[in-house]
Amino acid sequence: MRRPPPLPKQPGPPFDAPAARRLRTALGMGPEHVAHDLRASYGLPYVSPDLVVAWERGAITPTGPELTALAGVLWCSPGDLIGQPRTLREHRTARGMAPEDVARSIGLGLAAYLRMEETGDWRGTDRQASALASLLGLSLPDLVTVTGRAPILAELLRSAVTTRWQAYVRPVAKLLPLDQRLLEVTLQELYQAYQGRMVATLSWGGGIDSSDRSGREFLDRILDLFWTRVSDRSPGV
């Protein structure tokens, strides 16, 4: 039986496809067994073994009700099948909250909030961003990502480690609610790590090309390196 055309709806939560396959395999079930149980026990007549395989390969993401039913078949909680949220919409759906509830709680109109989810362009105030973080349980790195400030932060950090880090303490502080001393120490460490990496690569006889490649790898990972150092000194971040 063909799957009916999807109705307009919000996407489901982020799906951990490898976890679904791992859980099915551990139960000794084939895709055909999962599909049969979803049809017979959960009223999903369109589910085929091919659809189960597509879920497990990440080609298709199950809807919220499909994910809940799949968790029942695999004897796990829906949370075991939810991957790490990345976008604002994924964080909201992972919390099981309706968009109108989030919009109302943080003081935004529903249309404006949905537009932010769709575009990834956060237009709320700092107070609203703080309320959003509290409501959805967002860490500071998550909040920076979902409000679209990660690219700006990454560019500031790249400039800090390649030029004078002292000049970027204030711009980063305007972007992040972190202690200034913490930012100073972190930026200085990143600067020293980057510059030391460049000098070491040259001294090993790697040449300019090797040094440039090493430097690019460091700069590509600058956000992860920054958050790791911040969390080491401020575990609550």
Q: Provide CB contacts within 8 A for 150, sequence distance 6+.
A: 144, 223
Give the rounded percent of residues in the chain with a pLDDT score beyond 90.
Answer: 66
What is the pTM for the complete model shown? 0.69
- Please write the tens of the pLDDT for every residue from 189-221: 999 999 998 877 665 555 555 567 878 999 999
Q: Is 181 helix (H, G, I), strand (E, B) or coil?
A: helix
Are 132 and 124 spatial neighbours (Cβ–Cβ below 8 Å)?
yes
Q: Could you identify the residue written with the tokens 């009916």?
A: 4
- Whole-number average pLDDT of the chain: 88
What pLDDT digit, counting tens, does each position of 171-189 carry? 999 999 999 999 999 999 9
How far apart (Å, rounded) are the C-alpha atoms in residues 77 and 69? 10
Per CATH, is 17-81 categorized as 1.10.260.40? yes
183 Ramachandran zone, left/alpha/beta (phi>0; psi -120 to 50): alpha
The pLDDT tens digits of the residues spanning 40-55 come to: 999 999 999 999 999 9
Q: Which of 45, 96, 105, 50 is nearest to 69 (CA)?
A: 45
